[in-house]
C-alpha cells in the first residue's frame, strides 16, 4: 500500500503507512544508521514516538544494502515494528 496523508481542518494530519499511522506534527527520533543511540525498539516506543528516521547514505556505507536487505529491510534491521522514514543522504554525499 502506498502511504496516504490526510490533512485535518485544524492543520494537523494523519500519515498512514503499511506499518502504522503517524499523527502530525510528530516527534521523530533520528536513528542515523538505523539505531537510536542507547535505545531499543521498546525504549523508543516508551517515548511515544510513532516513527523513526534513518539515513540511506549511512546505511549504504555500513552495514551495506545487502545486509539490510538480507535481514528483511530497514524496519526488521532496526527491530522497529512501526513506520520508518529514510532520507536520501544527499546532504552527506555533497557535504563530504
DSSP 8-state symbol, 30: B
pLDDT tens string 3-20: 999 999 999 999 999 999
Cell 534513518, residue located: 54
Between the alpha carbon of residue 77 and those of residues 4, 25, 26, 35, 59, the distances in Å are 24, 26, 23, 9, 11
pLDDT tens string 16-74: 999 999 999 999 998 877 888 888 888 998 999 999 999 888 899 999 999 999 999 99
- Cα gap 27→50, rounded to integer Å: 8
Spatial CA neighbour of 82 closest among 22, 4, 1 = 22
The pLDDT assigned to 1 comes to 65
Amino acid at each position: 500500500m502506498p502511504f496516504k496523508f490526510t490533512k485535518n481542518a485544524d492543520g494537523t494530519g494523519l500519515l498512514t503507512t503499511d506499518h502504522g499511522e503517524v499523527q502530525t506534527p510528530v516527534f521523530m527520533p533520528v536513528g542515523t544508521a538505523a539505531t537510536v543511540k542507547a535505545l531499543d525498539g521498546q525504549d523508543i516506543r516508551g517515548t511515544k514516538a510513532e516513527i523513526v528516521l534513518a539515513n540511506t547514505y549511512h546505511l549504504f556505507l555500513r552495514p551495506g544494502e545487502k545486509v539490510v536487505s538480507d535481514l528483511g529491510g530497514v524496519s526488521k534491521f532496526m527491530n522497529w515494528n512501526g513506520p520508518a522514514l529514510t532520507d536520501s543522504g544527499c546532504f552527506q554525499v555533497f557535504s563530504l
